[in-house]
Structure 1
């Protein structure tokens, strides 16, 4: 294993309002919950987990020129993330209300400044980190029309700079609205595509995970299908399929588990780990994430 190169993460910065419900949501009435305000956003969470592994990381995104944006930037800097955040005047920093149960989460989103991430800012940010070796893109950037140009430019610029690339498919519902053909054309030839079970079904149909991964390698060089408690599958165009089980832990809050998984996978793989070892490291961080409240690593 070697020290991974600097990772650039591009995508969303969010304030999470996490409500861990005591039981089923009682529509039209009251449901007791433990409620917490914290930093969130798929890209920001992944960057924080990458930094927690001792790997240099730069987060490229957009925040509002407001207290929430300043708070989000400050906490990321404290976590060891180098922030290249575009401040958008007159627009609020994004907010997500997360309703979490033992094994599921439902999100209500206001994308806010994330919709305004610009191509010019992405280009400046990538030019400013010549030591970077990898770019990881949250697909929320591609799925929102306002930021799509910035996401596409991030992938193109990464290739121009000789960086390897990865994309996290982000969310099944917007993928379904966009359509598999369009999305897969945007991520064609990325080095690594991460999808969860629902996203894999949207993009590849109702096949078994290994078959879904093989189908998706027509677009991406490598595909990881995340299956929660059922583990994960790694499919490479030129190598055998690798499968790893999930860790068995008491689940407290699944918010951010996929982002922790991505960080573990990326840092291990970029450090030279085998597919199996990278999956196992990803599973370790995913288990750590679900065992605590919140989407970020704890100090």
Structure 2
């Protein structure tokens, strides 16, 4: 996209992973034993990209600000990423980059992850270009990205962007005393239920430093607002793979929120996108 074409775009930031998604298991592997999956898929992953791809499918101009996996892992997912409609100009592909891989082990209604990160969450030499992109909104796909690059907040605010943040489970991040201050600086925080509980938001919603949307999987989602709580249940669907469902929810919620819809409508559309994601392999459409 040219500078003019990026006017009003949504920038999604955070590492991209090559997701190796194992499905069809009835239980998680146990130490000392071997478990066999029914199927294996290779998909682009990472909260930033999955949210961007879903926003693109909803008709929004989206850009990705991300460090890409290198070597065969990047090559395995690059074509699918290019077909997503997301502008990848802020996320240059470099074969020499190290591996960024997530093994996703899907088991019935839940899953486990094993991930290898590498280098910085986003390419620092792209921050200046990002600052002049004329984008309207920044979505940060994982708390670890913001913790590593808090200057994203300053850049986005100086450019007049609104900011949203997913959590993405990382115990080291959640135990850091500085995370509450970082969360307080965004306009919208989107943790899942376990993350929100870990931060103390479920036992005392008054602890929430900003508008917080708690994703609860098949139970729907709850908005913790200054006026109290609002929960919208999700419609039941047949679950194929839950990878990226929360990131897809983010896209549905943001799509409505950025258009000025009320919170109930935002929750409903978030639930719809999250439900659609679990009916396919991988979180991106």
TM-score by length of 1: 0.85
Distance 1:54 1:163 in 2: 19
Q: Helix, strand or coil for the counterpart of 1:63? A: coil
Alignment CA distance shift 1:203-1:19 (3 Å): same
Distance 1:5 1:236 in 2: 27
Q: What does 1:1-299 align with in structure 2 at a 5 Å threshold?
A: 5-27=8-30, 28-83=33-88, 84-87=90-93, 90-113=96-119, 115=120, 117-127=122-132, 129-130=133-134, 132-142=135-145, 148-149=148-149, 152-176=150-174, 178-179=175-176, 181-204=177-200, 207=203, 211-212=204-205, 214-216=206-208, 219-220=209-210, 222-237=211-226, 239-297=227-285
- Contact kept, 8 Å, 1:62 with 1:88, in 2: the verdict is no
Q: Name the structure with the higher helix share.
A: 1
Distance 2:271 2:256 in 1: 11
- Contact kept, 8 Å, 2:65 with 2:123, in 1: the verdict is no
Q: Shift of residue 185 of structure 1?
A: 1.4
Q: Shift of residue 123 of structure 1?
A: 2.8
Q: Helix, strand or coil for the counterpart of 1:51? A: helix
Q: Name the structure with the higher strand share.
A: 1
Q: Mind listing any 5+ residue stretches in structure 2 that lack a counterpart?
A: 1-6
Alignment CA distance shift 1:89-1:74 (3 Å): closer
Distance 2:49 2:247 in 1: 9
- Contact kept, 8 Å, 1:122 with 1:153, in 2: the verdict is no
Q: Helix, strand or coil for the counterpart of 1:117? A: coil
Q: Mind listing any 5+ residue stretches in structure 1 that lack a counterpart?
A: none
Alignment CA distance shift 1:5-1:143 (3 Å): closer
Q: For residues 80-108 of structure 1, what are the alpha-carbon distances to aligned partners after superposition, in whole Å with 9 as ceiling and x for unaligned?
A: 00011144564324110000111111001
Matched length: 276
Distance 1:49 1:42 in 2: 11
Q: Helix, strand or coil for the counterpart of 1:80? A: coil
Q: Helix, strand or coil for the counterpart of 1:233? A: strand
Q: Shift of residue 139 of structure 1?
A: 2.2
TM-score by length of 2: 0.89
